[in-house]
Amino acid sequence: MQSALPSTLPSLAGLTKQELAEKLVAIGVDAGKARMRAEQLWRWIYHYGVTEFSQMTNVAKELRATLAEHYTLARPEIVTQQTSQDGTRKWLIRFGTGVEAECVFIPDVGRSGALCVSSQVGCTLNCTFCHTGTQKLVRNLSAAEIVQQVMIARDALGEWPTSNEDRALTNIVFMGMGEPLYNLDNVASAIDIISDGDGISISRRRITVSTAGVAPKIAELGERTGAMLAISLHATNDELRNQLVPLNKKYNLEELFAAIRAYPSLGNAKRVTFEYVMLKGVNDSLPEAKALVKLLAGIPAKINLIPFNPWPGAPYECSDWETIEKFAEVLNRAGYSSPIRTPRGRDILAACGQLRSESVKQRASERLKTGAQ
Ligand code: SAH
């Protein structure tokens, strides 16, 4: 009967080199050789994307068999996958009982496609225009679980082994569920794995981490990851931003902008992206566009105007197209490239701020009952 059940062995997919070495030592590989063997596994897992140990042809047969007795290379379960009319793809992934998060592939942005990954299940921030904000935080995702989202997308896109040309998935954006700077250790470790040239090999310059404004963690993000920084701004004064992004009450615009200005190695090649969601009659007036220009003075910046994406019960409407264009014109005249982000994947609720899963925090007693971690 047992063979009909999914394997309960732990998966090595998503682990760091150090963790792989430890897993090898745990099954009897000599500690002195574990590092070298881990390098071999690394290439099979992250360059070739294999899902069976038997495919690792330069690993001794005996070791392959021992590995298969104790571990798998399985990805987490895909609960649903949907494809939008515009080609956007969304996966709902189950990391454990009641622990589900979404990730979204958006083809043809910039030179090619971006994968929007989640860093937490749920969120603590309660931004009033964001669907994910209506869901409580369940837990942080581990580094492995963040990397597994990239692996699942690559599986579906047929992008193993890693190639240097004609990739569909070229960029990663931490703009899915959660606040990445509240899970910085795991986000940094995931970026180390994803950017490694012997594996998935997506350069740090093509990885963008978006924050609602956790000011004291911004410098650390830059130092530890070298990633591109994006700020979910949405308002140009504290009064309005306190309402839209309640985190602003903790770290106001002055404190946030001091941290942004200090982000390591900013320049023309490394600009900060400012996201500004267009809410009808709330933050979309011309004086606000001018205030935005003033606020960004001296910062190498790009501005993404995001038409508000509606979700069931949302208390806002999207600004009229004409209003958005006039707002953009003020920014353009001031010398900012300010593309209006065409909503992608709205029909499958995959657009910015529409992600949400049914996961709820389980009480400890319930976790015990279901045997979940
Ligand atoms: N917590 C981080 C990462 C999430 S990014 C952050 O806030 O930056 C998700 C992006 O989508 C943010 O810029 C967010 O402000 C934006 N967003 C949220 N809800 C939206 C909606 N309904 N329509 C358009 N954009 C939205």
219-269, pLDDT tens digit by residue?
999 999 999 999 999 999 999 999 999 999 999 999 999 999 999 999 998
Peptide bond into 161 cis (omega under 30): yes
Name which residue leads in pLDDT, 346 or 105: 105
> pLDDT band at residue 355, thresholds of 50, 70 and 90?
confident
pLDDT value of position 111? 63
Å from CA of 354 to ligand 1 middle: 8
pLDDT value of position 338? 74
**Topology given in CATH for the domain delimited by 17-70:** DNA polymerase; domain 1 (1.10.150)
- pLDDT tens for each residue of 190-220: 999 999 999 999 999 999 999 999 999 999 9
Average pLDDT over residues 289-302: 96
Please state the domain extents for the chain: 17-70, 77-364
Total Cβ atoms within 10 A of residue 297: 8
Å from CA of 68 to ligand 1 middle: 41
pLDDT beyond 90 at 373:
no
| CA geometry: angle 63, 49, 86, nearest 5 deg | 160
- pLDDT tens for each residue of 21-49: 999 999 999 999 999 999 999 999 999 99
3-state secondary structure of 312: coil
Asked if 352 is an active-site residue, the reply is yes
Nearest CA, atom 8, ligand 1: 211
Give the alpha-carbon dihedral of 89, 95, 97, 103, to 10 degrees.
Answer: -20
Answer for the pair 299, 261: CB distance below 8 angstroms, yes or no. Answer: yes
Q: How far apart are CA 177 and CA 104, in angstroms?
A: 11
Of residues 102, 159, 179, 275, which has the active-site annotation?
102
Å from CA of 30 to ligand 1 middle: 47
pTM, full prediction:
0.93
Class at the top of the CATH hierarchy for domain 77-364: alpha beta
Total Cβ atoms within 10 A of residue 282: 21
195-201 CB contacts, 8 Å cutoff, 24+ apart: 196/42, 196/46, 198/39, 198/42, 198/43, 198/46, 198/47, 199/42, 199/43, 199/45, 199/46, 199/47, 199/162, 200/46, 200/47, 200/147, 200/150, 200/154, 200/162, 201/47, 201/162, 201/164
